[in-house]
Amino acid sequence: MSTPDTKPSWRVQEVRQALHRYASVEKAQRLRQFFKTGKGEYAEQDVFIGVTVPEIRKVVAQFQDLPLDNVLWFLASPLHEERMLAVLLLVTKFQKGHAAARRHIVQMYIQHLHAINNWDLVDASAPHILGAYLQDKRRTLLDKLVRSENMWARRAAIVATLHFIKRGEFADTLRLATRLLADQEDLLHKATGWMLREVGKRAPNVLEDFLRVHLARMPRTMLRYATERFPQAKREAYLKGLLNHGKPEG
């Protein structure tokens, strides 16, 4: 992963020291196991120093005025916790920024999606940056991202729609979910099923209409996540493929 050309400022060093004070060998080991860093696993190249998200948020609160060019240093870091620090700083700056600042942060976010390369980094940022930015705009950017070869860009596209779901808007989620039915990545199946479940929490009929049309093509992991809140009998019927024709009962 590339780093900015200039040397890190004293502010970068100050923030880094504050973050690393929380580092723990024991926590790092647990995080490596949780995030699948073993050989051949999706986070094989990720490096952890053992800082939890609540601890990272404490550092974010302390340094939320850090300039954006300094934030880029952390976004380019090989250390997972430093990249999480960066995305949480971007979220904070986006939420506090005016229109021009928000647009710049979104552009930066998209340009550096290659560095937002684990599911927690995506999930902590995509709804709050991409989703919030696109609330009153055309959402063709999400269609572009969902076609990306970058798995994390595709996840960012579908998870960004959580912002719309919470406002009772489901069309973007359903459109992107249809596109992701053929995706080969299990982490995309999980994210899509999660978003469908969120739709179902607010509009059960909308989710069931989607399932009736697409059940035969839906990856099992996606279906498991989407139906997690269903009554057990109905969920088992969906998982067995018994409810893909006609209106499900129960």
- Asked if residues 3 and 76 have their Cβ atoms less than 8 Å apart, the reply is yes
CA angle 250, 219, 202 (to 5 degrees): 45
Alpha-carbon span 146 to 142, nearest angstrom: 6
Higher-scoring residue by pLDDT: 14, 37: 14
CB atoms inside a 10 Å sphere around CB 35: 17
- Asked if residues 190 and 226 have their Cβ atoms less than 8 Å apart, the reply is no
Q: Which residue type does 35 have?
A: F
Alpha-carbon span 194 to 136, nearest angstrom: 24
**Domains of the chain, each with CATH number or no CATH:** 1-114 (1.25.10.90), 125-250 (1.25.40.290)
Mean pLDDT, residues 199-209: 97
Nearest to 132 by CA among 166, 155, 108: 166
Alpha-carbon span 99 to 81, nearest angstrom: 28
Mean pLDDT, residues 202-221: 96
- Asked if residues 226 and 200 have their Cβ atoms less than 8 Å apart, the reply is yes
The residue with tokens 């900015």 is 4
- Asked if residues 225 and 193 have their Cβ atoms less than 8 Å apart, the reply is yes
Compute the mean pLDDT over every residue in the chain, rounded to the nearest whole number. Answer: 93
CA angle 242, 247, 249 (to 5 degrees): 70
Report field, pTM of the whole predicted structure over 0.85: yes
Q: How confident is the model at residue 190 (pLDDT cuts 50, 70, 90)?
A: very high
Q: Exposed, middle or buried: residue 232 (CB in 10 Å: 0-12, 13-18, 19+)?
A: exposed
Tens of pLDDT, residue by residue over 34-45, are 988 888 888 888
**Alpha carbon distances (Å) from 243 to 24, 210, 214:** 49, 12, 11
Nearest to 116 by CA among 101, 130, 106, 126: 126
Two structure tokens written together for 97: 């920024």
Secondary structure letter of residue 39 according to DSSP:
T
Tens of pLDDT, residue by residue over 98-128, are 999 999 999 999 999 999 999 999 999 999 9
Q: For the chain, report the end-to-end CA distance as a whole number of angstroms.
A: 51
Percent of the chain with pLDDT over 90: 87
Helix (H, G, I), strand (E, B) or coil at 79: strand
Percent of the chain with pLDDT over 70: 94
